Structure 1
Amino acid sequence: MEDFERARLDAYFGKIAACFAPVDRPAAFLITHLLPERPAFVRGVAGVTELRAVLPKPKSVHGGALRQVEGDGYPCDRLSRGLFSDPERAVRYLDARAAGCPVVLLDVGGYFAPSLEALCDRFSGQILGVVEDTENGHRRYAGLDKTPCPVVSVARSPLKDPEDFLVGQSVVFSTEALMRNRGDILHGRTALVIGFGKLGSSIARLLQAKGIRVAVYDIDPVRRTQTLSQGFAVTRDREAGLREAGLVLCATGSLSLRGEDFPQLRNGAYVATVTSSEDELELAGLPDVYERAHVGEHVTRYLTTGHYFYLLNGGNAVNFLHGASVGPFIFLIQAEILAASAALARGGLAPGMHEISPADRATIAATWLDYFNR
């Protein structure tokens, strides 16, 4: 990113912060993919909150971005599922960074969900609420028996549609690049897309446009009808789909392949995902008879007598290998995260799931167009 691009991005987030910043800024903890353009977003978050810590997702950390964020004076702490799956540990962590403060939690993937009730009950300050960015995280919060504070989700916002579409495109690009590094290509293979949500449908459409035969598996009958209406084959039997596919793209945000599913894969099939391996694949359940060998950059072959398949990027999101860039469209949803943080700071939201208003989204879209539609 060139200097003038950084300046424009900082000006954009400054304008968003000026539109939405609350009178009293709460403390905040930010979970984020720390990609090259992300320091500007971090500074934007600091424009509407008192940012106490950045917790980069461990499998998507760009070294230069990390150094820049730390150089700007924002502490970066190590993130793991274990940090917030243990309520006592989670409470101690927040008390160490923001004791007695009102706090907003900015999440990507439902990390805070297992300890949210304990944080609301036992943290020395006050949890004002959570902002969640992903569909996977949205479902984790919505599935809680009790939502003890407001959760403002941007996962289903129309401002996220461009990002979701372009992320799907980047997944296909990275998958093809890794295959080509081994001398393989997409053409001549049947692709199975597991999950026909926003990302899965984007992946399926691009593969189809490339002339690839695409089948889709989804447990939701409504989505299966949508799949058929868009010209894709629907497989009702996941095992049959796995046996026929030379490429399997997992896009559910939850568990796509169980341990017992892997032996059903067609010989020589490639497997790629749109999210972390811990969410999408049950690799720990893979039979021990499989031997693992690195056979290319970010390509692992799993081999046993009479059967083998290839796993891309260790089962983690393949698009992060090539920057996962979706251009300036990512700044739409990042601005909505700032607006959601400000809404929580202002108070008045009951415990439960919320979205920001259409009027606020229109303000964000208009501001974005002023800066980036050039």
Structure 2
Amino acid sequence: METFERARLDAYFGRIATRFAPQERAASFLITHLLPERPAFVRGVASVTDLRAVLPKPKSVQAEARRQVEADGHACDRLTREMFADPERAVRYVEARAAGRPVVLLDVGGYFTPALDALCDHFSGRILGVVEDTENGHKRYAERDKLPCPVVSVARSPLKDPEDFLVGQSVVFSTEALMRSRGDILHGRTALVIGFGKLGSSIARLLHAKGVRVTVYDIDPVRRTQALSQGFTVARDRTSGLKDAGLVLCATGSLALRGEDFPQLCNGAYVATVTSSEDELELNGLPDIYERAHIGEHVTRYLTTGHYFYLLNGGNAVNFLHGASVGPFIFLVQAEILAASAMLARGELDPGMHEISPTDRAAIAATWLDYFNR
């Protein structure tokens, strides 16, 4: 990032912080992708909260971004699902970093859900609430019978719509780049998009624009009707969709392909995902059946008698290979995360799911336009 770009971004987050910052700063823990533009967002979080630790998502850490965050004086701790799957371990961790403090948890993907009750009941301070950034995480919190604290979700905010569309674009770009590295192209290929939410629908439209024959499958019949109304072929079931697809893109945020699904892939099919392999793909049983070979950078061939397919980026989010950039539009939802953090820090929300107000969203959008609509 150029010096003048960093200065503009810091000024933008500074203005957002000035508008939303609470009178007293709560401590915070930030789970985030550490991509090239992310240090400015981390500084923004530190301006509205007392940032106790950054927990980078392990499969999306850019080394220079991490160095910048640490140079700014912020601890970067190792993040695993197991870290918060064990409630006692989670309480010990938060206790060590923020004992006795009011705390805001900034989440990407529902990492804190397994330990949330224990944190609210046994932490020496007070968990003021959680800010959740993703649809997958939103579902994990919303599906709980009872939340012990407020959760402010930005996953379904209209300010996130540009990001979702552009993430879809970056997924298609990276998928095509890896295919081209082997001499293959998208044009003329058949594809199955599993999941027709905001990301999946974006991917389907972009693939269609590139001359790909797109079939959609979603477990939700409402989304299947939406896909059909937009002109896509809709598979009756996942298996029938897999058999004809030369490319399978998984965009569910949950388990998209089970072990028994992989033998249904047509020979030479490419498989890519928009989230981590642990969420989308059941790969554990495959090494016993298939021989694996790395046949190119970030391309793995799975081969057994009479059958083979290619897995891109080890099954992890393919767009992170090329920075997953969505341009300045990412700063819209990051500003909303700052506003949500301040909202929780005031300690006025009841347990349950919440959003920030349309008025605050409009203020964020207007501020963003001042800085980036040039």
Shift in Å at residue 144 of structure 1? 1.5
- Give the superposed CA RMSD: 0.6
**1:288 aligned residue:** 288
Q: How do 1:211-230 residues align onto structure 2 when only pairs under 5 Å count?
A: 211-230=211-230
**Cα displacement (A) at 1:225:** 1.0
C-alpha displacement at 1:11, in angstroms? 0.2
Instruction: Classify the secondary structure of the residue corresponding to 1:284.
Output: coil
Correspondences of 1:79-118 after superposition (within 5 Å) = 79-118=79-118
Residue equivalent to 2:192: 192
Runs of 5+ unmatched residues, structure 1: none
Superposition deviation, residue 347 in structure 1:
1.6
Tell me, yes or no, if structure 1 residue 34 matches structure 2 residue 34.
yes
What do residues 260-312 of structure 1 show as CA deviations (whole Å, max 9, x unaligned)? 10010000000000000000101113361200000011000000000000000
Contact 1:27 1:49 in 2 (8 A): yes
**Contact preservation (8 Å) 2:186, 2:211:** no
Which letter does structure 2 place at the counterpart of 1:157? Answer: S
- Where in structure 2 are the equivalents of 1:78-157 lying within 5 Å? 78-157=78-157
Matched, 1:279 2:289: no
Distance 2:234 2:240 in 1: 11
| 8 A Cα contact 2:174 2:322, kept in partner | yes
Which sections of structure 2, spanning at least 5 residues, go unmatched? none
1:48 aligns with 2:59: no
Q: What SS is found at the alignment partner of 2:184?
A: coil
Alignment-derived partner of residue 24 in structure 1: 24
Preserved contact between residue 154 and residue 336 of structure 1 (Cα < 8 Å):
yes
Match of 1:77 in 2: 77
Query: Could you say what secondary structure the match of 1:308 adopts?
Result: strand
**How many residues end up aligned between the 2 structures?**
374
TM-score, normalization by structure 1: 0.99
Secondary structure of 1:283's counterpart equals coil
Quote the residue 1:178 is aligned against.
178
Kept after mapping to 1: 8 A contact 2:188/2:211: no
Which residue in the other structure is 1:349 paired with?
349
* Amino acid in the other structure paired with 1:373: N
Q: Which residue number in structure 2 is paired with residue 312 of structure 1?
A: 312
Measured in 2, the distance between the counterparts of 1:292 and 1:123 equals 45
CA distance in 1, matches of 2:72, 2:123: 28
Specify the alignment match of 2:67 in structure 1: 67
Q: Does 1:336 align with 2:331?
A: no
Shift of 1:161: 0.1
In 2, the alpha carbon distance for the partners of 1:42 and 1:222 equals: 38
Write the distance in 2 (CA, Å) between the matches of 1:135 and 1:77.
24
Partners of 1:325 and 1:287 in 2: how far apart? 33
Amino acid in the other structure paired with 1:13: F
Q: 1:102·1:128 contact (CA, 8 Å) conserved in 2?
A: yes
% of aligned pairs identical? Answer: 85
Moved over 2 A (4+): none
Work out the CA distance in 2 between the residues paired with 1:362 and 1:32.
24
| Residue equivalent to 1:249 | 249
- On the 8 A contact 1:36/1:62 being kept in 2, the answer is yes
**Whole-Å separation in 1 of the counterparts to 2:276 and 2:285:** 16
In the alignment, the residues of structure 1 paired with residue 285 and residue 328 of structure 2 have an alpha-carbon distance, to the nearest angstrom, of 39
In 2, the alpha carbon distance for the partners of 1:25 and 1:133 equals 21
Distance 2:43 2:187 in 1: 43
- Distance in structure 2 (CA, Å) of the matches to 1:51 and 1:265: 46
1:290 partner amino acid: Y
| CA deviations over 1:22-52 (Å, ceiling 9, x no partner) | 0000000000000010000000000100000
Q: CA deviation at 1:188?
A: 2.7
TM-score (norm 2): 0.99
Secondary structure of 1:329's aligned partner:
helix
Q: Secondary structure at the match of 1:310?
A: strand
Counterpart of 1:363 in structure 2 is: 363
> How far apart are the structure 2 equivalents of 1:284 and 1:133?
28
Distance in structure 2 (CA, Å) of the matches to 1:188 and 1:11: 46
Equivalent residue letter for 2:139 = R
SS in 2 for 1:303: strand
Letter in 2 for 1:299: V
Secondary structure (helix, strand or coil) at the match of 2:271 reads: strand
Q: Any idea what SS the aligned residue of 2:288 has? A: coil
Equivalent position amino acid for 2:358 in 1: P
